[in-house]
């Protein structure tokens, strides 16, 4: 097949996405496909090509492969684009996508996981992987997701309040909020902008940071317990993976620096816990109308309650990512996983999902 792997983009998670994209590209090439790995925001820029078609089979730039310890500054990224266009699609991106049998979305976070790229590709008649535009948008919005699943018999989500840090008085928010609390920008990912506040001062600092990241912020009750993630692939849950950071919580550095976090898959847990998370993750998947695959995050308290935190519609495919490890635990290799996602997505698009 001719496949475009879209990655990068103007998202705080662009480096993670470039790493996912590189792995996906390599795996699909190994399986005999003709693959163009394309940075959504830069397109042909910096790739040494003059025609979009030359991106197929172009080498994978070394800079795409490794995730640095900190998320990139997007103002610096913007300033380095040469064509000065306001479009989020870099030069040649839409042309190369139109040449593909399918576009594999290796994008994460805003600009890729939020439904806008999916909507654009729908209008252009170009098939892509994963969920459709509406469910993607709902799933990236942590407040909307929690509202939609609230009250479902299989889903428990921690109490929360959504505030607008750019419009509200931060001291008033801090005064009424019970501590400890987790501060999460509404549409963040990779733990970017996520803070665990134990004191009022920490909360005020976190709210100030949230102001810089758009303002709308979820304040979620802190849950103490063991952390897990569980994928749904083509309607079935995979074995949950336990996440044990060596220090601190599962933040950006602990997610992508090899060895910073111990991951155990299948997790060493009672069957009932696996079943509880599987039922919950499938319920969230179906409630939001997701397609093909997803990965949901949980914390389980000692009494066995599985608290649903959030669901990802384009989960990471990097060397330290969780879905490939869950798939491997049931004998699905990385390349096979990519191909299953592609075939299931072609089916989903035909059904109008």
For residues 234 and 336, is the Cβ–Cβ distance under 8 A? no
Supply the minimum distance, in Å, between the C-beta of residue 310 and Mg ion.
5
Among the residue ranges 24-32, 95-103, 169-177, 186-194, the one whose residues contact ligand ADP (CB under 6 A):
186-194
**Residue 265, binding choice from Mg ion, ligand ADP, none, Cβ under 5 to 8 Å by partner class:** none
Among 34, 54, 88, 191, binds ligand ADP (CB under 6 A): 191
Is 297 a residue that touches Mg ion (CB under 5 A)?
yes
| Neighbouring-strand partners of residue 312 | 295
Name which of 190 and 325 has its Cβ closer to ligand ADP.
190
Residues with Cβ within 8 Å of residue 57, at least 6 apart in sequence: 29, 34, 35, 36
Closest distance of CB 276 from ligand ADP, Å:
17
Tell whether residue 227 is a contact of ligand ADP (CB under 6 A): yes
- Tell whether residue 210 is a contact of ligand ADP (CB under 6 A): no
- Residue ranges in 51-90 that form contacts with ligand ADP under rule CB under 6 A: none
- Given 3-state DSSP classes, what are the helix, strand and coil percentages for the chain, each rounded to the nearest 5? 35, 20, 45
How far, in Å, CA of 261 to CA of 132, rounded?
32
Which of 20, 22, 135, 190 touches ligand ADP (CB under 6 A)?
Answer: 190
- Stretch touching Mg ion by CB under 5 A, among 136-144, 261-269, 290-298, 299-307: 290-298
Nearest to 196 by CA among 169, 223, 167: 223
Stretch that binds ligand ADP, among 56-64, 88-96, 221-229, 262-270 (CB under 6 A): 221-229
- How many helices (H) and strands (E) in the chain? 12, 13
Nearest to 297 by CA among 286, 287, 308, 305: 308
Q: Based on the shown chain and the rule CB under 6 A, indicate whether residue 220 belongs to the binding site for ligand ADP.
A: yes
**C-alpha–C-alpha distance, residues 250 and 256, integer Å:** 10
Residue number with CB closer to ligand ADP (113 or 339): 113
Spacing of C-alpha 311 from chain mean position = 8
Site for ligand ADP in 308-327 (CB under 6 A): 309-310
Residue 194 interacts with ligand ADP (CB under 6 A): yes or no: yes
With CB under 5 A as the rule, give the number of residues binding Mg ion.
1
Q: Cα(145)–Cα(229) distance, rounded to whole angstroms?
A: 17
Angle between helix 271-288 and helix 133-140 axes, rounded to 10 deg: 120
Cα 351 to its chain centre, rounded Å, is: 24
* 338-to-21, 68, 111, 317 alpha-carbon distances in Å: 11, 24, 21, 9
Inter-residue contact 243 to 228 (CB < 8 Å):
yes
CB of 206 to ligand ADP, least distance (A): 12
For ligand ADP, the closer CB: 28 or 105 = 105
Q: C-beta of 179: minimal distance to ligand ADP in Å?
A: 12
Where on the chain is the footprint of ligand ADP (CB under 6 A)? 158, 182, 184, 188-191, 194, 220-223, 227, 249-250, 297, 299, 309-310
Where on the chain is the footprint of Mg ion (CB under 5 A)? 297
């Amino acid at each position: 097949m001719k496949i475009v792997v879209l990655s990068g983009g103007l998202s705080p998670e662009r480096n993670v996405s470039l790493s996912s994209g590189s792995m996906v590209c390599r795996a699909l090439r190994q399986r005999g496909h003709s693959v163009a790995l394309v940075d959504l925001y830069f397109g042909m820029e910096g790739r040494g090509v003059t025609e979009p078609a030359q991106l197929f089979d172009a080498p994978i730039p070394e800079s795409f492969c490794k995730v640095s310890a900190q998320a990139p500054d997007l103002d610096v990224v913007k300033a380095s684009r040469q064509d000065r266009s306001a479009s989020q699609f870099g030069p040649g991106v839409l042309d190369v996508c139109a040449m593909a049998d399918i576009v594999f979305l290796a994008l994460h976070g805003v600009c890729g996981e939020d439904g806008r790229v999916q909507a654009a590709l729908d209008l252009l008649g170009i098939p892509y992987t994963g969920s459709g535009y509406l469910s993607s948008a709902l799933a990236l919005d942590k407040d909307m997701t929690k509202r939609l699943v609230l009250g479902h018999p299989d889903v428990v989500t921690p109490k929360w309040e959504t505030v607008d840090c750019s419009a509200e008085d931060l001291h008033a928010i801090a005064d009424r909020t019970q501590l400890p609390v987790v501060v999460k920008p509404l549409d963040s990912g990779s733990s970017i902008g996520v803070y665990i506040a134990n004191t009022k001062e920490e909360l005020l600092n976190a709210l100030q940071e949230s102001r810089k990241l758009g303002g709308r912020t979820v304040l979620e009750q802190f849950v103490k317990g063991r952390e897990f993630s569980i994928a749904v692939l083509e309607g079935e849950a995979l074995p949950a993976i336990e996440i044990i950071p060596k220090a601190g919580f599962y933040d950006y550095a602990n997610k992508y620096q090899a060895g910073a976090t111990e991951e155990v898959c299948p997790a060493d847990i009672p069957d009932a816990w696996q079943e509880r998370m599987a039922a919950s993750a499938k319920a969230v998947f179906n409630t939001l109308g997701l397609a093909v695959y997803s990965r949901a995050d949980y914390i389980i308290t000692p009494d066995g309650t599985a608290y649903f935190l959030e669901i990802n519609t384009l989960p990471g495919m990097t060397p330290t990512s969780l879905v490939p490890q869950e798939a491997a635990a049931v004998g699905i290799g990385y390349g096979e996983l990519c191909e299953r996602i592609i075939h299931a997505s072609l089916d989903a698009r035909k059904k109008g999902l």
